[in-house]
Structure 1
Amino acid sequence: MIEYRSLKIALLGAGSVGSQVAKLLIDNADELAARVGAGLELVGIAVRDPDAPRRVALPRELFTTDARSLILSADIVIELMGGVDPAREYVLLALNSGADVITGNKALLAEHGAQLFAVAEQVGAQLYYEAAVGGAIPIIRPLRDSLAGDRVERILGIVNGTTNFILDRMDTSGDTLEDALEVATELGYAERSDPAADVEGYDAAAKAAILAGLAFHTTVPLESVHREGITGITKEQVDAAREGGYVIKLLAICERVAADDGSEGVSARVYPALVPRQHPLAAVRGVHNAVFVQAAAAGDLMFYGAGAGGLQTASAVLGDVVSAARRHVVGGPGVAESTHADVPVLEIGAVRTRYQITLRVTDAPGVLSRIASIFATNEVSVETVTQTVASEQEPGVASGAIPARREPLPATATLVIGTHEAFESALAATVDTLRASDEVVAVTSVLRVEGV
C-alpha cells in the first residue's frame, strides 16, 4: 500500500482549548495517523506572545508570531483564537490557499459564516466547526449529515454553560444572581472583566444562528436572532418557579413558523424561560449543555454533555481534524453548506409561546374581571390563575406591637396568570396594557413557558 504524505497542521491560538489540541496532536500522533492513513504533523502554533505562561507544556520551537507564513505552509489550519478580527482574515487566507479550516469560533461563523462557506465552496476547501456549538457535544454533524434527509421542526437548547451554572446555583443553593455570578467567575466559567457575552445572551445568540442555519438550510443573520439575557432574573422568580414545578433556563430556540399569509418562515431566539421540571432540559445541571431536536421522521432527539472546558472542546476539534485529514487522503472537493431553502427569518412577534405573568393588583371587587377583559381584548386566553392576598401589616412592625397611627395602606393581591399559547405580539401587548391599567400596582414578573 502506498503511504500518503504527512499532512501539515497549523494551529492559531494556544489558550485553554488550543493548548489541549496541540498536546493531543503530539501525544496521540501514532494513533491518529493510523486512523487517518497519513501522519499529522503540527508545524507551528501562532500566538501573540510565545513566552507567555501556559498550563500545558508544549515545545517552545513550535511557537511563532508569524501567523500568515504558518498558514500558507499548512494543509489544515485550526483557528482557536476567538473573536472576529484577525480570525476572519486568517481563515480567508487559509481557505484561499486551499487549506481546510477547523474553527470553534461561533462569533465569526454567526457574523461571517455565509462569506466563509462561499469561499470554501469556490476553492474546493472544507470548513469544519463542530466545536463552535456545545463544546464536546456532537450536534453539528447530526444536523448537517445525519438529519439532512429529515425535516427538523424545532430546536430547544441550553447552549451556554456559564448561564446554566448561574441559574442552577440560584435554583439549588438559593443564591442571588450576583452571588452565583461571583462563584462562576471564581471557578473560571465567567469572564471577570466582562461577563456580558454570557449573561446578556450574546454567546447563545451566535450559537442559535448557527444551529438555525444548519437545521433549516438557510442563512440566519446574527442580527435576526432575538436576544435576552439573564440579568433581570431575580431570586424571587427562581423561588416562585420552583414552587410552581418549573426551573428557569436560558434557552436557544430555533423553529419553523407559519407566517400570517400561510407561508413558512423560521425563528431564532434566546431568552430565559420556565421549563417544566419533568422536561429533559430541566435536569441539565452546572455548566453542561443540551440540545433537544424535534424532527418530523426521527422524532425527539437529545444531545447532552460538557458544553465547555479545554479538553472536552479539544475532543470536538480533533474529530474535525481527523475528518479533514481523511478527506485529503481520499481526495475530492469539500462539501458545501446547504442554504438552498432561503426561508425568511421572522420577527419574534410572529412566534407562538406561553407567558406566566405575575401582577400585584388592588384587592377590590371587579378587579379580576377587568384584568380578564384585558387578556380577552388582546386575544390571549388565560389558562390558570392563582391569587394570594398580601398582608395588611405594616412592614417592619412585629406581630403584637402597636403601630403608629397612619393612613391604612390599600389592600393588594398577587395574581399569577398562565396563558394558553398565543402570538408573542399579542402577549407583549397584553403586558403593556396591564402595566398601564389602574388596577395593576406592578407587573412583577414576565416569563415565557417552553417545553410544555
Structure 2
Amino acid sequence: MTAPLRIGIAGLGTVGGGVLKVLERHAELLAGRTGRRMVVTAVSARTRSRDRGVDLSAARWYEDAVALAADPDVDVVVELIGGSEGVAREVCETALSRGKHVVTANKALLAIHGTGLARLAEENGVALSFEAAVAGGIPVIKGLREGLAANCVTEVHGILNGTCNYILTEMRETGREFGDVLAEAQKLGYAEADPSFDIDGVDAAHKLAILTSVAFGCAVDFDAVHIEGIRHISALDIEYASELGFRIKLLGIARRSDGGVEQRVHPAMVPVSSPIATVDGVFNAVVAEGDFVERVTFVGRGAGAGPTASAVVADLVDIARGRVSHAFGVPSGRLESVRAAPPEERRGAYYLRLMVVDRPGVIAEVAAALRDENVSMESFLQRGRAPGEAVPVVLTTHDTDEASMQRALASLSRLEAILEAPRLIRIERF
C-alpha cells in the first residue's frame, strides 16, 4: 500500500464533522478501494473544545486556516469555511499555489472565482474538486463532466435549493402561506436564521453558474444569471397552479443556443406530468439534455451532513487514486467566453394573476393591454363575483417573448382597476 493521503480540513461545522465521521467509519473500505489510507493530519476550526464525535488528538490544530493550507505535511486541503471572499478564498489560493489539491463545497467561491482557481490548479498540477458544491450527495458534477463527456449538452435545469423546494411543497400540501412555512422550516433547521440566500434564489444561482460551466465548457459567469426568488409566491398561486395542471418549483435553467447561453433562476410552473414536478421536500433534481444520451435525471438529497460529506469524500477518493481532472471538464484556457443571452429573449408561456376591481369592462381593459403587446391568452379563470370589490383574475398565455410580456405587465400596472402588482410566473413545459 502506498503512502497515506494526508488531509487538512479547514472548517469543522456540520459538513466538516460529517467528513470526519465518514473517514473514520469507512477507513478500511476506503483504503481497500484506493490502495492507500486517508489520514486527517491537520484541522482548523473556531472552537477547539467542541466534541465532534471523532478523535482528533493526532491532528495538528490551527487557529489560522491559511496556515493549515501552507502546512508541508498536508497533501489535500478540504475547504469547508464558505463565502466567496476572505479566508475561504485565501485558503484555496494558498493551497493550490503550494501544489496541494483542494476539495471544496463552496459554491459561492466557485461561482465568482471558479475559472481563476481552475487555472491556478492547472498551473500547479493539482486538483480543484467540488462535487459537494452542487446538489449535495448527487454526483451531478462527475455525471456531467465524465459520464456525459461523449455528448454535446444543450440544456441543464433543475431544483437546486432544498429549502425552497421544501417551502413550496409544504405550501401546496397544507395550503399555508409562505411566511408560516418559512418559519417552520427555520425551526426544523431546513432554513437559516437569515434565509435570504436561499429564498431569494442566490444559492441556486451560484450552483447554476457552476453547472453551466461544466455542462457547456464555458467560463463561469455568475453575473449573467437572472435571479428571482420565491417570496412573492402565495398559497393562491399554488392553488391555481394545481387547478391548471401545474406545480410551482424554483428552477435553475441553463440553455445553449445559437444566440448564446441563457442562465435563469426563478419560480416556474411545470406540468404535473413532468418528472421534476414529483421531486418534493428537501430533495434536489438536475436534468441534462445530451445529443446522444437524450435526457438524464439526477435526484437525491441536496444538503445535510451525510450527503454533502459523501460528495467530499468521493472527491478525496479520486485524488487518492491519482485521478486529477480539469475542474470544469476542459483546460481553463479553453473555457469559452460566450454571449450571455439576455432574459428578455426568453420565449415561452406565462401565468399571470391580477387583483382587480370587479366591475364591467375590466377584463376588456386587461385583454387590450395584452393585445397591444401581441400577447395572446390561452386560458382565463375568475371565481365568483364581488361587485365593486377586489377579486383575483388568473390567465395563462400562449408562447410569447419575455420583452413583450414585461411591456404588457407595465401597461397592466398602470390600469386603475389593478389593485396590486401583477404576479407573473413563467411556464416551463419540460
Normalising to structure 1: TM-score of the pair? 0.88
Separation in 2 of the partners of 1:173 and 1:388? 21
**Kindly, what percent of the aligned residue pairs are identical?**
37
Separation in 1 of the partners of 2:231 and 2:309? 30
Q: Deviation of residue 296 (structure 1)?
A: 2.1
Establish whether residue 223 from structure 1 lines up as the match of residue 214 from structure 2: no
Q: Deviation of residue 285 (structure 1)?
A: 1.4
Q: Deviation of residue 245 (structure 1)?
A: 2.1
Equivalence for 1:291: 286
Aligned counterpart for 1:381 among listed residues 376, 379, 388? 376
Equivalence for 1:56: 53
The structure number with the bigger radius of gyration is: 1
- Could you tell me whether the CA contact under 8 Å between 1:363 and 1:389 is conserved in 2? no
Task: Find runs of 4+ consecutive structure 1 residues off by over 6 angstroms.
Answer: none
Q: How does 1:37-436 map to 2 (within 5 A)?
A: 37-51=35-49, 53-62=50-59, 63-71=61-69, 72=71, 73-84=73-84, 85-192=86-193, 194-257=194-257, 263-327=258-322, 334-335=325-326, 337=328, 338=330, 339-361=334-356, 367-392=362-387, 410=388, 414-436=392-414
Separation in 2 of the partners of 1:55 and 1:451? 46
Instruction: Show structure 1 runs of 5+ residues with no match.
Output: 258-262, 393-409
SS at match of 2:338: coil
Separation in 1 of the partners of 2:424 and 2:325? 47
- Could you tell me whether the CA contact under 8 Å between 1:389 and 1:412 is conserved in 2? no
Q: Deviation of residue 94 (structure 1)?
A: 0.8
Instruction: Provide, for residues 112-145 of structure 1, a one-character-per-residue CA deviation record: whole Å limited to 9, x for no partner.
Output: 1011001011111111110000000110011111
Separation in 2 of the partners of 1:64 and 1:24? 22
Normalising to structure 2: TM-score of the pair? 0.92
Write the letter of the residue equivalent to 2:298. Answer: F
Separation in 2 of the partners of 1:7 and 1:275? 46
- Could you tell me whether the CA contact under 8 Å between 1:136 and 1:305 is conserved in 2? yes
Separation in 2 of the partners of 1:345 and 1:245? 32
- Could you tell me whether the CA contact under 8 Å between 2:238 and 2:247 is conserved in 1? yes
Separation in 1 of the partners of 2:116 and 2:351? 41
Separation in 1 of the partners of 2:268 and 2:158? 11
- Could you tell me whether the CA contact under 8 Å between 1:20 and 1:56 is conserved in 2? no
Write the letter of the residue equivalent to 2:79. Answer: E
Greater CA deviation, 24-33 or 440-449? Answer: 440-449
Write the letter of the residue equivalent to 2:307. Answer: Q
Write the letter of the residue equivalent to 2:245. Answer: G
Separation in 1 of the partners of 2:201 and 2:142? 24
Separation in 2 of the partners of 1:268 and 1:171? 27
- Could you tell me whether the CA contact under 8 Å between 2:259 and 2:341 is conserved in 1? no
SS at match of 2:321: helix
Q: Deviation of residue 365 (structure 1)?
A: 5.8
Q: Deviation of residue 335 (structure 1)?
A: 3.0
Separation in 2 of the partners of 1:83 and 1:172? 34
Greater CA deviation, 268-277 or 337-346? Answer: 337-346
Greater CA deviation, 5-14 or 26-35? Answer: 26-35
Instruction: Show structure 2 runs of 5+ residues with no match.
Output: none
Q: Deviation of residue 387 (structure 1)?
A: 3.4
SS at match of 1:446: strand
Measured on the aligned residues, the alpha-carbon RMSD in Å equals: 2.1
- Could you tell me whether the CA contact under 8 Å between 1:124 and 1:334 is conserved in 2? no
Separation in 2 of the partners of 1:113 and 1:66? 23
Q: Deviation of residue 303 (structure 1)?
A: 0.4
Q: Deviation of residue 440 (structure 1)?
A: 4.0
- Could you tell me whether the CA contact under 8 Å between 1:358 and 1:443 is conserved in 2? no
SS at match of 1:86: helix
Separation in 2 of the partners of 1:433 and 1:83? 41
Give the total of aligned pairs: 422
